[in-house]
Amino acid sequence: MNFEIFRSAQRQASSLRIALIGKKIKTLQILEPVVVRPKAGGVIEEIRTIGREIELILDDGTVIRTKLKFAGAWRVFRSNSVAANKVDGADVLIEVQDRIAVCIGASEIETYHDFDPRRHPLLGRRGPDLTDRQSDLELCVDLMLGYEDADATIAEVLLDQRVMRGVGNVFRCELLWTCEMHPWARVSSLNRDESRELVSLAAEMLQSQFATQNRKLAVYGRHGKNCPRCGGQVRVTHHGEANRVLYWCADCQTRHSGTSASRYVTEHHTPPGVHPAEFIYLSELGRTRKSG
């Protein structure tokens, strides 16, 4: 593998992270027919590089994988800039509030769902959809209380489609913060009242303006910034089998902290003031240099 090209893919991924992560997608176009067609309205929460390939992971678990030709590249423009308007024939175009990212010269584009049995159950029935006003919230509570894996964390269970549907990753972080709940409290430590409180608040927030409007987020995407409730520092961690990002405040999300399970948790020791994406990029680059 050509080292320069590899490093260039990492550079592109770094600019994509800074431009796109945590922002609501306004437009998403893919020129070629793809199996899973990602929708606008979601949020990009991770950018991964594998050699010359760049993968963009959406908050619903959809992955857009682009493999670049020799002259191919991802470019980022400011919205409304002259250069952005001149882009023609982009293979992929993603527009967020203030930036447009385009992929030109891809040799392969593929979309798929990140494998997560909780998010995409292969067997069994799916839980109530919390965005639906008619959904049976008591059934959700029963499913949480009778959860088969007693050591599972509440952060994982909120994304389990067999228990409830409609809670995306951004929303999960905000919900746990609102309830002052430690993200990896064991699901089995919650009593019926606490489970009901989480489920009804989730349904209320999903069915209200909160889910549709450009709301101000308390923790999601705010790593290193101050928690709006207690002034503590918002942290970012990877969590769960699918290793999804999780933003939280360790200072005030303390409910059930005594029962927390530490499995599948990867702490980011990102220095304050440094964007976690930038930190990950620099760490990756460091590893490449050592091994290259």
Q: Binding mask 175-214 vs Zn ion (x if CB under 5 A, - otherwise)?
A: ----------------------------------------
257 binds Zn ion (CB under 5 A): no
- Piece in contact with Zn ion (CB under 5 A), picked from 47-55, 58-66, 83-91, 244-252: 244-252
Q: Which is nearer to Zn ion, 110 or 251 (by Cβ)?
A: 251
Q: Cα(11)–Cα(180) distance, rounded to whole angstroms?
A: 37
How many CB atoms neighbour CB 93 within 10 A? 18
249 binds Zn ion (CB under 5 A): yes
232 binds Zn ion (CB under 5 A): yes
Residue 187 gets which letter from DSSP? Answer: G
57 binds Zn ion (CB under 5 A): no
Residue the block writes with tokens 């609501």: 24
| The residue type at 110 | E
- Piece in contact with Zn ion (CB under 5 A), picked from 11-19, 23-31, 109-117, 232-240: 232-240
Residue 216 gets which letter from DSSP? Answer: P
Q: Cα(132)–Cα(134) distance, rounded to whole angstroms?
A: 5
Across 200-229, b (16+ Cβ under 10 Å) vs e yields eebbebbbeeeeeeeeebbbbbbbbeebee
- Piece in contact with Zn ion (CB under 5 A), picked from 65-73, 96-104, 118-126, 252-260: 252-260
230 binds Zn ion (CB under 5 A): yes
To Zn ion, the closest distance from the beta carbon of 106 in angstroms equals 42
- Piece in contact with Zn ion (CB under 5 A), picked from 4-12, 162-170, 199-207, 221-229: 221-229
252 binds Zn ion (CB under 5 A): yes
To Zn ion, the closest distance from the beta carbon of 230 in angstroms equals 3
To Zn ion, the closest distance from the beta carbon of 243 in angstroms equals 24
Residue 170, Cβ density class (10 Å: 0-12 exposed, 13-18 middle, ≥19 buried): buried
The region that residue 203 occupies, defined by phi over 0 for left and psi between -120 and 50 for alpha, beta otherwise, is alpha
To Zn ion, the closest distance from the beta carbon of 144 in angstroms equals 24
* The one among 251, 254, 260, 279 contacting Zn ion by CB under 5 A: 251
To Zn ion, the closest distance from the beta carbon of 224 in angstroms equals 13
139 binds Zn ion (CB under 5 A): no
| The residue type at 188 | S
DSSP per residue, 197-215 = HHHHHHHHHHHSGGGTS-P
- Footprint of Zn ion (CB under 5 A): 227, 229-230, 232, 249, 251-252
